[in-house]
Chain A
Amino acid sequence: KAGVTQTPRYLIKTRGQQVTLSCSPISGHRSVSWYQQTPGQGLQFLFEYFSETQRNKGNFPGRFSGRQFSNSRSEMNVSTLELGDSALYLCASSQGLAGVGYTGELFFGEGSRLTVL
């Protein structure tokens, strides 16, 4: 079956702009998590959505937001971009949440590489 699909794969923005990234999870997966990956900080948890509700949130400023639709597809948005937002943004899907059939196995997409100039 198809894996996790992220779009766009690459994008370049300038400071102050905003960006929206999209993620389509594996069919049947209801949980979508977003991570930011940078060489200095590694994989940092952004947020997790399950059944259209944000269930967990990492320590990122309010400029970072997300949502999930009824078909489990998810988007994340970063407003007022800063140079430090340049990173690989990874989306991952899983079958459930902790305590609700969650195995901890995340299936990652290829990522969206954002460059902020």
Chain B
Amino acid sequence: QQPVQSPQAVILREGEDAVINCSSSKALYSVHWYRQKHGEAPVFLMILLKGGEQKGHEKISASFNEKKQQSSLYLTASQLSYSGTYFCGTETGKLIFGQGTELSVKP
């Protein structure tokens, strides 16, 4: 039931791009993306709804392929502040989070 994220960890230099994938074995109604910095609470980034509606962060984009039950988070021109653990959450009456992807952005 838990969605699977890949990669598990990624290291970037400032300015580089990254893609984090999230896939589920179940049909999805929506996908949420959150970022958690070390020692802090998860913070909402993006929600993708069935039918293509998106709502979220200015500098981060995402896609949602309902047929493939997959979502991807695109981080472009990464900044140091992007470092943290990214979680996707799949909504089927309740939010089930993936195992997280740890992203480190180095100067």
State yes or no: do A and B come from one complex.
no
